[in-house]
Homo-oligomer: A and B are copies of this chain.
């Protein structure tokens, strides 16, 4: 691929090149890139949701094995996921990039290709941003704006005693994908001549490199007239997120090891790495599945829904938060999920 230095066209030239053919598709997007601010129009029956993520090279992603196109896709999708987790629909994003001299125009176009693909897929408009330079590495800040009907927003704090705890999809695969990529890093660096053999492990790589936000689950819950009492997306790991829901809802919980949904490839890989599978599923993170609670009255309806697993139930707060293992033992849930500012676990 050819390499054109960004310095040849400067900030405004780059922004023009990346954004000139962007079309706005949402009614609420009135004016996009090109002025001091984007202009949005939301009808009064809607509430506006805002979420933001800052991703730093070397902390959140490793460009040795993450293609820029995938990074663009993922950076957008993880923000959409937060909006769905409020029971809303993402509508606009702003995209800020700080770019070091290592990156060419073509690199940033690759990133934008992935970003725009995600936006097309989820019907989201790119309405603004900031493009600037960085002394080291790439920094990506995305803010996503979405909408929800006034009465349909679902917070983390609505879980009630006896509610059922549900998760969509399966857990731990994205983390296993990361382990796999880390193991083969020397190959990507060109230090080894052999190609890594990823056959049979495609699902794990896809979960790590190209996650999707569960718009489909939100839609199906609405169609089935199920309104969760609390909901969030699983980005830092099931344990960590469940503790957020319990703390904010002032309740306890019991979840059952045997009910945690895990894909076959995840299990095989954990075995290969000699890792505890349940720990991976509880603390792995980056699954972007939905964790939610529903009233026990919805038991039958939710049990019939494909791709949703019942993993436990909400209890009185004094019961604490625990995992019941396959052999019936009770373990206190701890937030061991990904926490970039925490001290290393010893």
Contacts and interface: CB of A to CB of B under 8 A. Distances in A.
A96 B233 contact: no
A92 interface: yes
Contact of A341 (B58, B86, B99): B99
Nearest to A230: B35
Interface string A30-65: 110011111111111001111111101111100000
Given A48-B41, A59-B133, A141 B35 contact: no
Cβ-closest 8 pairs across A and B: A141-B141, A44-B44, A10-B342, A54-B96, A37-B51, A133-B340, A36-B85, A37-B49
Contact of A35 (B10, B59, B155): B155
Nearest to A137: B135
Question: In the complex, which range does the number of interface residues on chain A fall in?
Answer: 35 or more
Given A36-B51, A54-B139, A56-B139, 15 more contacts: A34-B156, A36-B82, A37-B51, A37-B144, A39-B49, A42-B44, A44-B44, A50-B143, A52-B96, A54-B130, A56-B135, A59-B98, A59-B135, A99-B341, A141-B141
Interface string A139-173: 10101111010100101110000000000000000
B36 A40 contact: no
Given A134-B59, A137-B135, A143-B143, A52 B94 contact: yes
Scoring A31, A127, A248, A341 by chain B CB atoms within 10 A of each residue's CB, the highest score goes to A341
B35 A130 contact: no
Contacts of A50: 37-38, 40, 92, 94, 127-128, 143, 145
A141 to B, nearest CB: 4
A132 B340 contact: yes
Given A43-B44, A54-B98, A98-B54, A37 B146 contact: yes
A36 B232 contact: yes
A136 interface: yes
Nearest to A340: B133
A222 interface: no
A17 to B, nearest CB: 12
Contacts of A117: none
A11 B155 contact: no
A279 interface: no
A83 interface: yes
A88 interface: yes
B54 A341 contact: no
Given A43-B44, A47-B30, A143-B50, A156 B35 contact: yes
Contacts of A12: 335, 339
Contacts of A30: 47
A49 B11 CA distance: 23
Contact of A130 (B47, B53, B335): B53
A131 interface: yes
A20 to B, nearest CB: 13
26 contacts: A10-B341, A14-B341, A34-B156, A35-B86, A36-B86, A36-B156, A37-B86, A40-B47, A40-B48, A40-B49, A42-B48, A50-B94, A50-B145, A51-B94, A52-B129, A52-B141, A54-B141, A56-B133, A57-B135, A94-B143, A98-B139, A99-B341, A132-B341, A135-B136, A136-B136, A136-B137
